[in-house]
Amino acid sequence: MKWKSQKLLAWDLMTAAQADAAAMELHSALNALIALIATQPASNPWQSIKAVCIGTTAADLGEESESNIRSAVLVYNSAAIALVSGTGGPLLGCVLVAGVDSSRAYGAVADRRTAAASGWGPVFSDGGCAYDVGLRALSAVSRAQDGRGADTLLVNAVYRHLGAQRAEDLIRWARSHQSIHQRVSGVASLARLVLDCASRGDSVADALLRHAVGELLRAIKAVVAKLGLDRSRQPFSLVLAGPMLSDGTLFMQYLLEVLKDGVPTADVIYPLGDGAEAAAWLALWLLNPQNPTPPLRRGL
């Protein structure tokens, strides 16, 4: 939660595995809070709050509880908040998020149309997220071990990372996870091994990175096409966000290369702040689109 000039309350609930329960609890708390504010004297600082903005993955699920939230509470999906983290307020343009458990492309235009692609979550193995890259690394290791695939540095890297000595240890590890969250976290941790092996010239790891980049490109191109941005030929902001999109990595290099050719009118920018700050910027912009916004960030 962050204050913005004593006018806004903003939250960002980004973890998909926890967003549903957290959002429902927050909705209940907000209803009680708003009722309490109404009873406070005008001198109380809580009376100066103009809007509450929440970014949550649960916003896409059509929660019935959202209909009970008063109009002063603004609920947007986390992709919208990620977009605003780069624009500093305007909900205009596109965003490509490559996260731990999912990846997503999202866009919004001036006539309030929005579009999204990917972002289905770890069970669907969204291409370009750390979990999907890690899962494909495990597949590459198993194939290299039994002769179905090419030799790769990933075998030793994965075994060393997991403390495994034999294939049975690897299988035991894969079966040991007590929850989806543990499985996703464990598998996603292997993505950095793919980055390392690819940077050392491993062709199998390199192919995994290029596949992931291709999936991200397909997602953003789908959004661009749905919104007609490919036909307008006008430049639009494209925010790159998420832990997979770190500066200086081979993965980022490959992504920027395919974006340049695949979506040539995209003006690539990067997040200016965290999710809570972005939620506050969005609320300010919705209250008054003429509010000044921070300068765009074109480099990490």
pLDDT score, position 292: 82
Residue percentage of the chain with pLDDT more than 90: 60
Question: 94 forms bridges with which residues in the sheet?
Answer: 107, 238
pLDDT digits (tens, 9 = 90+) for 181-213: 999 999 999 999 999 999 999 999 999 999 999
pLDDT score, position 193: 98
pLDDT score, position 267: 96
pLDDT score, position 4: 43
CA distance 79 to 16: 12
pLDDT score, position 247: 80
Q: Is the pLDDT reported for residue 243 higher than 70?
A: yes
Higher pLDDT, 175 or 276: 175
pLDDT score, position 70: 44
CA distance 142 to 280: 46
Model confidence band, residue 74 (pLDDT cutoffs 50, 70, 90): confident
Residue percentage of the chain with pLDDT more than 70: 75
CA distance 99 to 243: 6
pLDDT score, position 279: 87
pLDDT digits (tens, 9 = 90+) for 18-60: 555 555 666 666 666 666 666 666 665 555 566 666 666 655 5
What is the pTM for the complete model shown?
0.81
Model confidence band, residue 288 (pLDDT cutoffs 50, 70, 90): confident
Q: Is the pLDDT reported for residue 95 higher than 90?
A: yes
Q: Is the pLDDT reported for residue 150 higher than 90?
A: yes
pLDDT score, position 173: 96
Under 8 Å between Cβ of 25 and 59: no
What's the one-letter identity of residue 244? M
